[in-house]
């Protein structure tokens, strides 16, 4: 299973990558929305995108809309992973096409629960 982690924080990309790798994902990283737009079409078999809201150049909401407008990515689950915790922001993300919303800070268990909600078949023992 391939996943793309999009976040301008290298530390956050590494944390998410480690958690996802432990769950059996092949993880690719992008440092910005623009990088993600270039990288995503090259990732054959992409099954999941984790996306930060606040990034320079192109924020996560704009990237999410661009992904949802592209038939190649319209059905790929996109999880917003962000510090934006106001319900209005959550609603905006979900209305824009986010599949799930995970608030920072989070732990491995919170990520696992969101992935299970998205229907990923993950061995809980491996988590």
pTM recorded for the entire structure: 0.93
3-state secondary structure of 77: coil
Higher pLDDT, 84 or 110: 110
Inform me whether the pLDDT recorded for 36 exceeds 80: yes
pLDDT score at 19? 96
What crossing angle do the helices spanning 10-22 and 108-117 adopt, rounded to 10°? 60
Separation CA 13–CA 28 (nearest Å):
9
- Alpha-carbon torsion (64, 100, 18, 23), positive or negative: negative
| Residue 85 reports pLDDT greater than 90 | no
Confidence tier at 126 by pLDDT (50, 70, 90): low
Round to whole Å and give the CA distance between 127 and 125.
5
In this predicted model, what pLDDT tens digit does every residue of 53-67 receive, in sequence order?
989 889 898 999 999
**Ordered domains of the chain (ranges, CATH):** 2-117 (3.40.50.2300)
DSSP conformation class of 49: E
């Amino acid at each position: 299973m391939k996943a793309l982690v999009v976040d301008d924080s290298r530390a956050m990309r590494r944390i998410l990558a480690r958690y996802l790798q432990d769950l059996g994902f092949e993880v690719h990283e992008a440092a910005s929305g623009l990088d993600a737009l270039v990288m995503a079409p090259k990732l054959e078999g992409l099954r999941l995108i984790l996306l930060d809201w606040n990034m320079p150049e192109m924020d996560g909401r704009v990237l999410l809309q661009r992904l949802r407008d592209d038939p190649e990515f319209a059905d790929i689950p996109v999880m917003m992973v962000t510090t934006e915790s106001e319900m209005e922001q959550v609603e905006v993300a979900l209305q824009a096409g986010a599949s799930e919303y995970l608030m920072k800070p989070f732990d491995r268990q919170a990520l696992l629960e969101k992935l299970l909600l998205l229907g990923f078949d993950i061995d809980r023992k491996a988590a």
